[in-house]
Structure 1
Amino acid sequence: MGFLEVLSDLFDGFANLQAYEKPRRVFTRGFVAFCVLVAVFELVALNQFYGARG
């Protein structure tokens, strides 16, 4: 009976597992837009600071 108890416990454990959920997105549209805005601002600032004169 020991083997059947182990097998029953194993199947009970599988039955209690939560369903697969789709992971949340890491790079949302807002985050990507913010990164692009920061990159453009940095390029403009660096161009003003280190830009060629004349």
Structure 2
Amino acid sequence: MAHHKPHLPSKECPVCQRPFTWRRKWAKDWDNVRYCSERCRRQRTRAEADRP
């Protein structure tokens, strides 16, 4: 029997513009999580430079 996750909070990554959902490892720091992955976090300067 498959375990279905309940509705989890989500945010949009400012770099790739994709939604990402809450993960257990972010539980204590969810308010400060901004990027969906380490790759997007490294590319953040590119995304910030593209903003008008």
What TM-score comes out, normalization by structure 2 length?
Answer: 0.22
Larger Rg: 1
What TM-score comes out, normalization by structure 1 length?
Answer: 0.21
Which structure's relative contact order is higher, taking Cα pairs within 8 Å and 6+ residues apart?
Answer: 2
Higher strand residue share: 2
